[in-house]
Amino acid sequence: MKSFRTEIENPVVEKDILELEQKIQKFKNGTIDDEKFRSLRLARGVYGQRQQGVQMIRIKLPYGKVTSKQLLRIADVADEYSTGRLHITTRQDIQIHYVDLERTPELWAQLEKDEVTLREACGNTVRNVTASETAGIDPNEPFDVSPYAQAVFEYFLRNPIGQEMGRKFKVSFSATAADTGLSYMHDLGFIAKMENGKRGFKVMLAGGLGSQPRHADVLYTFLPTDKIIPLMEGVIRVFDRYGERKSRAKARLKFLVKDLGVDGFKALLKEEEHALEQFVYPIDYQSYPKPKIAQIPIPVVKINDPAAFNQWKSTNLVAQKQDGFVAIGIKVLLGDFYTDKARLLANLVQKYAAAEIRLSLRQNILIPHVRVGLVPFFYQELSKLGFAEAGYNKALDITACPGTDTCNLGIASSTGIAKELERVIKAEYPQYVNNPDVVIKISGCMNACGQHNMAHIGFQGMSIRTKEKLVAPALQVLLGGGNFGNGKARFADKVVKIPSKRGPQALRLILDDYEVNGNGLLFEAYYQAKGEQYFYNFLKPLTITDNLVQDDFIDWGNSEKYKKEIGIGECAGVMVDLIATLFLESQEKIGHAQEALQEEKWAASIYYAYQSMVNSAKALLTAEHTKTNTHASILKDFDRLFVDSGRIQFTGSLSDIVLQLNKSRPSKDFAKTYVDDAKMVLEQLQSFRQSELAHV
């Protein structure tokens, strides 16, 4: 590996990348254990693949905005360090695969030349901030949410309060009441609103997908824009202290709010208010960069197939509030495209549009600010790239996660079945190319990265066992999900589980019945009118497994017999720490706290000191084989086992020392005192540990 000290202008970024480089070497030398190293690299966008010895790199792209320069940079990096394939995720990121671990610092350094980051793209952090891809151009939006999404991204990037939570934290912004940002399935969802001429957001709290989807609660019907960052900081602080950490299955915010109730959660938020760095945080939306639209003569274009052109226009043009402009949607099959096309696309929007694209939550691309007169030219140029397929955001546009292609957690193929279902729709149901009211989504496992449980028709990868104990790939069929707007939605019902190779037949049965009995209703209304049992009855014959043939034991896109293999999930795994490692982390956090003091970042310094003290307490509880499920329980149990019993002497309790955090304003004097307290706690607890070991 090479040094990047002379290549990176931002010293904070340089330090980050050098730390990754150093930790990789320590991991290779065996001086950092695997669990500790995993946590560090995940927070820097480096994710283990299903294939041994290579990594998936997740590139964090706030609200899906990518400039032409950034896309060209990403393409160069993908060619140099990966396979040249780019994958758009359902969170508006780009992933590249098959990267050598030791080359990841160098890769990151190259991306940062055009302000593209990997930081906090994975791990137990604040993930990519997503938003409606039409933000800034939507005719129905009260205002552009992009500046607010950007402000949230910047404020929480590298913020110590969101670096080591029990699980990941997801945020979205919806441009309109249509809620295309899907607020109802996020930890925090913001829907743009105007009230008495003032900008604000409806705020949704603690939604989520996964094996136990939960509809978010309404936290505020209207919150002024200058309150959203203080609110989010408070929510994260409460989640960090009271959220589950040991049991991964219960560690999301949705479980904490379910247990506490919204009022109980609000009470804890109230307790944090005094500790917030700022009670209001104005966001200067007027300084957000305005689009610079290319001024160029409109080329003369001859359309050779007017019917195909008109079909494309009917599905792929998106209305724009700016007069004389439209946006163009590009349907990207499974979110996968290659660097040769990426470069040509970047140059096209640089020269003829506003030098930016937006990645969508449905794994597509939107080109905003295209002059109406340039539409025929864009169709011609996009056709050359294979980017002019009709059906953008229509039924034909199926969303799917990578599944067993590259993901450790994949149980069955999602990409293979998605390709087959698209083929079936094109060949047998061409009318659905124009249908925006049937949404089909597929996930390779229960974790719902393909968002299957919010679809009208969803499929979840599973396995199925025959009476002869043979294992075949399977699909859970889910029906009836829907987004009703303004934070209201319905999750799909699990109807039947069928062998994967019968997925196309299930789709045919559902669509055939909808054609005959839908009576002009939207799909979700049709499903509600008929009821779950109705669909179970006509799909039940597909569940029979005593008539499987050899092909049923081969998954889509594969040639070998199916074998159920599930690796260790890394996306938000909970660390299992050794005691020495915990004390080492505590020392590192005190170092971070002292650096923040020198930089006059009082709030950051205080939070690093807080983390150090909790971590030190966790170390001794781990030695006692005591559960360390939440920060709050760590403090309570530490006082019970060590302070109340007299084994360790403090003035008062450890809780009294640590929880000064939310009783004092983040001032210079308090920060200094609090860091000194953290040093004292670490020294005393390490001394106790050494004394205990000496008597073993």
Q: Which CATH number fits domain 306-384: 3.90.950.10, 3.30.70.3340, 3.30.2030.30, 3.10.100.10?
A: 3.30.70.3340
* Model pLDDT, residue 34: 75
DSSP state string for 470-483:
-EEEEEEEEE--EE
Contact 157, 604 (CB under 8 A): no
CA distances from 16 to 21, 111, 116, 158, 588 (A): 9, 13, 14, 10, 14
What's the CATH class of domain 579-694?
mainly alpha
* Model pLDDT, residue 287: 96
Using alpha carbons, select from 605, 586, 603, 587 the residue that is nearest to residue 595: 605
Contact 169, 397 (CB under 8 A): no
User: Rounded to whole angstroms, how far apart are CA atoms 71 and 55?
Assistant: 21
DSSP state string for 98-116:
EE-GGGHHHHHHHHHTTT-
CB-based contacts of 196, cutoff 8 Å, min separation 6: none
CA 301 to chain centroid, in Å, comes to 41
CA distances from 666 to 227, 333, 369, 482, 680 (A): 18, 49, 44, 44, 20
87: left (phi over 0), alpha (psi -120 to 50) or beta: beta
User: Which residue in this structure is represented by tokens 């190259």?
Assistant: 110
Q: Pairing mode, if any, of strands 85-88 and 94-99?
A: antiparallel
Position 396, amino acid: L
What is the length of the chain?
A: 696
Contact 403, 414 (CB under 8 A): yes
Record the pTM.
0.91
Using alpha carbons, select from 203, 208, 233, 234 the residue that is nearest to residue 220: 203
CATH of domain 11-112: 3.90.480.20
User: Rounded to whole angstroms, how far apart are CA atoms 23 and 17?
Assistant: 10
CB-based contacts of 459, cutoff 8 Å, min separation 6: 414, 417, 440, 441, 442, 443, 452, 475, 476, 477, 478, 503
User: Rounded to whole angstroms, how far apart are CA atoms 399 and 449?
Assistant: 10
Q: What residue ranges of the chain have pLDDT lower than 70?
A: 1-7, 565-578, 695-696
Homologous superfamily assigned to 399-553: Sulfite Reductase Hemoprotein, domain 1 (3.30.413.10)
User: Which residue in this structure is represented by tokens 């705020």?
Assistant: 203
User: Rounded to whole angstroms, how far apart are CA atoms 662 and 607?
Assistant: 10
User: Rounded to whole angstroms, how far apart are CA atoms 177 and 638?
Assistant: 47
Q: What is the pLDDT of residues 603-626, one digit of tens each?
A: 999 999 999 999 999 999 988 889
Six-digit token string for 360: 């969508």
CATH of domain 130-287: 3.30.413.10
Q: Pairing mode, if any, of strands 457-465 and 440-443?
A: parallel
Q: How many other β-carbons are positioned within 10 Å of the β-carbon of residue 544?
A: 11
CATH 3.30.413.10 domain residues, the chain: 130-287, 399-553
* Model pLDDT, residue 575: 34
Strands (E), 280-323: 317-319
CATH 3.30.70.3340 domain residues, the chain: 306-384
CATH 1.20.120.330 domain residues, the chain: 579-694
CA distances from 219 to 191, 259, 277 (A): 12, 16, 22
CA 512 to chain centroid, in Å, comes to 35
Q: What is the pLDDT of residues 231-243, one digit of tens each?
A: 999 999 999 999 9
CB-based contacts of 634, cutoff 8 Å, min separation 6: 614, 617, 618, 621, 628
